[in-house]
Amino acid sequence: MNFPTKLKIAVVGTGAIGAYYGSLLAQAGHEVHFLLRSDYEAVKANGYHVQTPKAKFHLHPVNAHNNTADIGPCDLVVIALKTTANAIFPEILPPLNSPGKTVFLTLQNGMGNVEKLGELFGLENVVAGLCFVCVNRTAPGVIENYMPGYIQIAEASGTARERTQALAKILQDSGTECKVSDSLERALWCKLCWNVPFNGIAIAAGGITTDKIMQSPPLRILAEKLMRELQAAAAAYGVSISEKFIEGQFTVTDGMGPYKPSSLIDYWEKRPVEVESIWGEPLRRGLAKGIPMGNLDCLYHLLDHLVRAKA
């Protein structure tokens, strides 16, 4: 599958991640259409204001839509919805699909997303992207990036193809560092090594930023124990996560400062929290292989209780 020079792109899920990467792709000259809900009027009127550690830009006008039928078939569909909204895939995504042409790139957290997309459009048309970045939506149409980081992409099924390498170059040309992995399984478990402890502890410890976790010896120990359980579960699925990688998660987090993980923001604002995809699914997969996961089990049930109580 060859991509055209200028892509028609739909961004579905325009919180911090979707708005940020969509804006970069639009700045690079692609025809980007944003599916918006609560921010629709603000973005249509004022566009996106994007701040990064090195620069800022204003994207205006913006191709803003409140339904996918108005967008039509695309070359690339970037999905940045919260996984709690995956049930609406069959309703909103088909108008964007041109069979045999459209590629679906999911930038969602956790596990189970490519399988749901594959059921609708075929795994061969799905690419998973994992975002190692610090970015928040601070107001309607206002996106702040605190650490550019990178995206790691992998085929939903099999090793990287020429199509995936081409997609990586498109992202790189838009100003996003992009790495290609030959193993989606490995990429998913590695991303969870950060998301599980830091998103989870930030909520469970009373609503604290990552610097507070790093400054607390008990919480830092808990974070490492959670990573070790994920490391063991990953190994049961044939994925080796090195000691250097585990240590690197703490080094990276030290450099983030008082960062608010996305799940913490969702929890504060009483939005759905991705409890099942980030904590529940890896727990179930680890237990299915007989891996002891007591810390993750406890955190998962605590978060489920806190989220339900907050709703």
Tens of pLDDT, residues 18-58: 999 999 999 999 999 999 999 999 999 999 999 988 889 99
Domain(s) of CATH 3.40.50.720: residues in the chain: 8-182
CATH code given to domain 8-182: 3.40.50.720
Tens of pLDDT, residues 269-288: 999 999 999 999 999 999 99
pLDDT bracket for residue 161 (50, 70, 90): confident
Tens of pLDDT, residues 56-98: 999 999 999 999 999 999 999 999 999 999 999 999 999 999 9
**Angle at alpha carbon of residue 128, lines to 1 and 265, rounded to 5°:** 145
CATH code given to domain 186-310: 1.10.1040.10
Q: Cα separations (Å) of 7 from 11, 80, 103, 131, 297?
A: 12, 18, 11, 21, 43
Tens of pLDDT, residues 195-221: 999 999 999 999 999 999 999 999 999
| Strand stretches in 82-162, DSSP E | 103-106, 126-139, 142-155
Residues recognised as catalytic: 191
Domain(s) of CATH 1.10.1040.10: residues in the chain: 186-310
Backbone angles phi, psi at 129, to 5 degrees: -125, 130
3 state SS of 59:
strand
pLDDT bracket for residue 1 (50, 70, 90): low
- Which pLDDT belongs to residue 157? 84
